[in-house]
């Protein structure tokens, strides 16, 4: 049996996953698992290596939705092998481990957290382009554990139905993500109108447009509306993913459109990495040196400091910052010359270093940053200081100029 600490196992496994996406909802019964399964299948159909993790312990629907309920899992004393569909879709769910489909899972929070750690750290996920995580409804133990364990998650897809009763709870999901510095990739409005297959008349059973209005009101992307379709119900009960079996229907095209921005995360990351590699080949690598926590710039005494920001203060988790403060300073005069707040682009490998280099940044001051990200910044000629306190960006920059910036441990060093 391995003696490696469980958190270290999780970090090691997740380092092999390109993108991590949570599927959340503040309300039960909105079709969240159906959305998660169809997103994962759409990504796999596009040729991506995909993992689908079901942490809805009290209602594990994923095996049923994929037609693999009751299938056995295999493994050793140290690892569990996920169930594999086709060449590139791996699945893990507590549903595979129940002796009987009628068994109830009666666990308190600490037990759930431990099992989530095992699902992330002990399952042999291998190299993945995407890991889609189907969380239970609400903002409780399971989504909180996932968000705290996977600090570099790309973000969350939030599922709702159009009526106010669902939207009241789903809005809390957006707030949950913001409080944890977890980006919201977008909102899906499920069960949005019923189109009669015989006459074509549309009936808004649960109203329509509520999810889109909520997304607009809260300033998050809207990914699309999935109509009420009897074929979706039948396909789900039969374990046939709708997006794969009915790709040319209206709902099938909508599922594909919902998955498209998530698929684009990988495309953007590869493009940024290629551009960063080309830039590194074309320009001589800058020789960097540090002394007493200060960085040296090539021209004069002015420089620009980039600081990740969340809710007006330095974000302790670099990969979750939605904004960056770019502060121009004169090191010799110890003056702040100006500052601006910039909306961050998608947090993908190689993208932020190239973006901040274009903005003229010479130094990044962060609370926590992964080792790979630090290396990418150094390769791009941008120095990094980690372990900085969560204070206003100007306060951090002033402390740096005065030579009394207090730094602690790197909270994201993995």
Quote the strand ranges of 35-183, DSSP E.
Answer: 50-54, 74-75, 80-81, 83-85, 89-93, 128-134, 155-160
Query: Whole-model pTM?
Result: 0.65
Mean pLDDT for 234-263 is 92
Is the separation of the CB atoms in 348 and 265 below 8 Å?
A: yes
Mean pLDDT for 187-194 is 91
| Distance in angstroms (rounded) separating the CA atoms of residues 163 and 351 | 38
Quote the strand ranges of 241-395, DSSP E.
Answer: 290-291, 294-295, 302-310, 313-314, 323-330, 335-343, 363-365, 383-385
Mean pLDDT of the chain: 84
Contacts of 41 (CB under 8 A, 6+ apart): 66, 89, 241, 243, 244
Q: What is the pLDDT of residue 26?
A: 84
| Distance in angstroms (rounded) separating the CA atoms of residues 251 and 282 | 47
Is the separation of the CB atoms in 168 and 54 below 8 Å?
A: no
Q: What is the pLDDT of residue 311?
A: 82
Mean pLDDT for 196-203 is 78
| Secondary structure class of 71 (helix, strand, coil) | coil
Q: Which residues pair with 50 in a beta bridge?
A: 89, 130
Closest CA to 251 of 266, 233, 267: 233
Residue 367, phi then psi, degrees to nearest 5: -80, -55
Query: Any idea which of 11-15, 131-135, 202-206, 334-338 has the lowest mean pLDDT?
Result: 202-206
Q: What is the pLDDT of residue 143?
A: 84
Q: What is the pLDDT of residue 291?
A: 41
Q: Which residues pair with 134 in a beta bridge?
A: 23, 54
Is pLDDT of 197 > 50? yes
Q: What is the pLDDT of residue 241?
A: 94
Contacts of 256 (CB under 8 A, 6+ apart): 42, 243, 247
Is pLDDT of 317 > 80? no
Is pLDDT of 318 > 50? yes
Structural domains of the chain ordered from first start: 6-271 (3.40.50.300), 290-401 (3.30.420.130)
Is pLDDT of 374 > 50? yes
| Secondary structure class of 284 (helix, strand, coil) | coil
Query: Any idea which of 14-23, 164-173, 309-318, 356-365 has the lowest mean pLDDT?
Result: 309-318
Q: What is the pLDDT of residue 114?
A: 87
Is pLDDT of 286 > 50? no
Is pLDDT of 412 > 80? no
Query: Any idea which of 84-93, 196-205, 327-336, 380-389 has the lowest mean pLDDT?
Result: 196-205
Q: What is the pLDDT of residue 278?
A: 59
Is pLDDT of 128 > 90? yes
Question: For residue range 97-120, what is the model confidence (pLDDT) as tens digits?
Answer: 776 666 666 666 678 788 899 999
% pLDDT > 70, the chain? 86
| Distance in angstroms (rounded) separating the CA atoms of residues 19 and 50 | 10
Q: What is the pLDDT of residue 48?
A: 95
CB atoms within 10 A of CB 301: 12
| Distance in angstroms (rounded) separating the CA atoms of residues 125 and 282 | 36
Half-sphere exposure of 239 (CA within 13 A, CB side): 9
Question: For residue range 28-56, what is the model confidence (pLDDT) as tens digits?
Answer: 889 999 999 999 999 999 999 999 999 98
Query: Using CB atoms within 10 A of its CB, is residue 104 exposed (0-12), middle (13-18) or buried (19+)?
Result: exposed
CB atoms within 10 A of CB 310: 19
Q: What is the pLDDT of residue 104?
A: 65
Measure Cα distances from 327 to 153, 312, 337 in Å.
27, 14, 8
Mean pLDDT for 201-217 is 86
């Amino acid at each position: 049996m391995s003696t490696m600490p469980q958190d270290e196992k999780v970090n090691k496994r997740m380092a092999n996953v390109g993108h991590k996406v949570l599927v959340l909802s503040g309300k039960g019964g909105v079709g969240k698992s159906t959305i998660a399964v169809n997103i994962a299948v759409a990504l796999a159909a596009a040729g991506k290596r995909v993992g689908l993790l079901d942490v809805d312990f009290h209602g594990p629907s994923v095996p049923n939705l994929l037609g693999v309920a009751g299938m056995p899992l295999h493994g050793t004393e140290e690892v569990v092998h996920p169930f594999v569909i086709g060449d590139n879709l791996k699945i893990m769910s507590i549903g595979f481990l129940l002796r009987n489909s009628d068994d109830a899972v009666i666990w308190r929070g600490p037990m759930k957290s431990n099992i989530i750690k095992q699902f992330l750290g002990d399952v042999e996920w291998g190299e993945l382009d995407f890991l889609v995580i189907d969380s239970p409804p609400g903002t409780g133990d399971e989504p909180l554990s996932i968000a705290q364990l996977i600090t570099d998650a790309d973000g969350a897809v939030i599922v709702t139905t159009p009526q106010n009763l669902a939207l009241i709870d789903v809005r809390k999901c957006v707030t949950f993500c913001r409080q944890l510095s977890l980006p919201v990739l977008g909102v899906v409005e499920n069960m949005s109108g019923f189109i009669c297959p015989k006459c074509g008349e549309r009936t808004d059973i649960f109203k329509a447009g509520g999810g889109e209005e909520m997304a607009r009101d809260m300033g998050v992307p809207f990914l699309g509306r999935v109509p009420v379709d009897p074929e979706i119900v039948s396909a789900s009960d039969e374990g046939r993913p709708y997006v794969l079996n009915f790709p040319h229907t209206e709902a099938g095209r909508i599922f594909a459109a919902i998955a498209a921005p998530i698929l684009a995360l990988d495309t953007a990351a590869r493009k940024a990495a290629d551009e960063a590699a080309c830039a590194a080949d074309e320009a001589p690598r800058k020789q960097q040196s540090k002394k007493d926590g200060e960085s040296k710039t090539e021209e004069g005494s002015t420089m620009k400091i980039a600081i990740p920001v969340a809710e007006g203060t330095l974000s302790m988790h670099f990969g979750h910052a939605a904004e960056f403060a770019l502060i121009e300073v004169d090191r010799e005069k110890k003056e702040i010359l100006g500052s601006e707040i910039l909306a961050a682009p998608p947090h993908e490998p190689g993208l932020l270093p190239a973006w901040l280099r274009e903005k003229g940044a010479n130094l990044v001051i962060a609370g926590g940053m992964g080792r790979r990200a630090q290396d990418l910044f150094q390769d791009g000629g941008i120095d990094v200081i980690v372990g900085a306190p969560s204070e206003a960006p100007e306060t951090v920059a002033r402390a740096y100029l005065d030579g009394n910036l207090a730094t602690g441990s790197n909270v994201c060093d993995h």
